[in-house]
Each structure stands twice: as C-alpha cells, then as structure tokens.
Amino acid sequence: AFTYAGEVLEKRVRPLAEGIGAKIILPCDVTKDEEIDQVFDTLRKEWGGLDILIHAIAYAAKEDLSNPYVQTGRQGFHLALDVSAYSLVVLSRHAAALMEGRKGSILTMTYMGSEKVIPHYNVMGVAKAALEASVRYLAHDLGPKGIRVNAISAGPIKTLAAAGISGFREMLHYSSDRAPLKRNIDAEEVAQAALYLVSDMSSAVTGEVVHVDAGYNIMGM
C-alpha cells in the first residue's frame, strides 16, 4: 500500500506503486486526521493486519529553509514539526492497533541535520531531532507489544526532497570528500538497510538510528 499528499506527489507515487503491483494507493495528508483514519480503515478491511510501516514524510516551508533559523515563524515551526515528526506518532498509534501479535516493524527516515548544524536545513533539523526522540519513546511504548521502531539516517542523495535544500550539490561534494569511504551513497544502499530493519534479521533492534552515509557522521574534521 502507498499513500501520497496532493496531485503533484500522486503523479510520482502512483507509477511506482503500480509498477510493483500495489493494489492500495490512497491520499493521505498527515495534517488531517480524517485522511489518516481512512487509510487505516482501508488497510483493516483489506488486510486485517499490518506488519510494516514506512514513514518517509517531511516538509518545511521554503522560506524556513532559506532564511536564518532565528527568523522561523510560529506557523512554519508548527507545520514542520507536525508533518515531519508528529506524523510518526499518530501513524504509529494507528499501525500498532493492526500489528498486535504480529511482531511489526516501524521505520522512519532522518538526517544528520538533527545532530549537527547543516546550512539551510534549519527548522527541518529541529523536526528531525524531534523525530529521532520520538523513535526512542515509541520503541519504549510499543516494545511490550513486540513492535520495533527504528530510523535510518541517510547521507545526501539526489531526491525530490533534496532539491529544496539550497547548496545541495556542494553538500554532495563535501560529504564524498570527507566520508571514510570517499563516496556518496545511493538509494539502493538505503533500501538494503531498510530491508534489514523491517525484517526478522533485526529482530532484537529497536529504538535505533542507523547511519547509512559512508561513515560521514563519525568525522570530526
């Protein structure tokens, strides 16, 4: 099952979903509880249960990325935290009800901007920090039900989301020059890490942020 928010993203998501034979493709604006309810009602009716939830959602207004962080307005701050961090909480709550007795796995995506200052990442870095803290608290809450919650902190990759970050091309060069492996990563490497984290291969792993960044995060200078 795949979800999307808005017609623009639907044009990207639908061909991908149909290409792998997905039968459930639904709109889901995570700022609207009624749309979240509709998604999980559909999953309950169609599947009866759920094994895996992939949370790959983040958003901040363009001006809140380009302007200095100190200029972030209240509305922009709330929007970034709502979409990028709180959405994991509400989606996990719904997913947990369908994962009872199934040893489910919840996975989200984060970035090193949660730990260190990345120019033009600004409020998104704060949102990702909240997201990572949520991973730990959710892992604690849902662990007794056998549900694991983890995050992947990936290095820079050319994606639609990355296109909104000023100076992204320079970030790619900087990362590859300084990472121990002396290169950038690709989407397949992130997918392989995701496969590990949602599978039984990682059955004792929860509450973790796994870096997939060619080792860049360990560097001090």
Q: 123-173: per-residue pLDDT in tens?
A: 999 999 999 999 999 999 999 999 999 999 999 988 776 776 777 888 899
Select which of 111, 137, 174, 196 is catalytic: 111
Phi-psi group of 219: left, alpha or beta (phi > 0 → left; psi -120 to 50 → alpha; rest → beta) = beta
Portion of the chain with pLDDT greater than 90, in percent: 92
Same domain, 17 and 102: no
Same domain, 33 and 85: no
Average pLDDT of every residue of the chain: 96
Select which of 121, 174, 196, 216 is catalytic: 121
Sheet with 148-154, strands from edge to edge, namely 52-55, 105-110, 148-154, 209-212
Burial classification of residue 82, based on how many CB atoms lie within 10 Å of its CB (0-12 exposed, 13-18 middle, 19 or more buried): middle
Distance in angstroms between the alpha carbons of the first and the last residue of the chain: 43
Reply yes or no on whether 174 is catalytic. no
Same domain, 121 and 146: yes
Give the count of domains, the chain.
Answer: 2
Query: Domain range spanning residue 210?
Result: 49-218
pLDDT at 164: 66
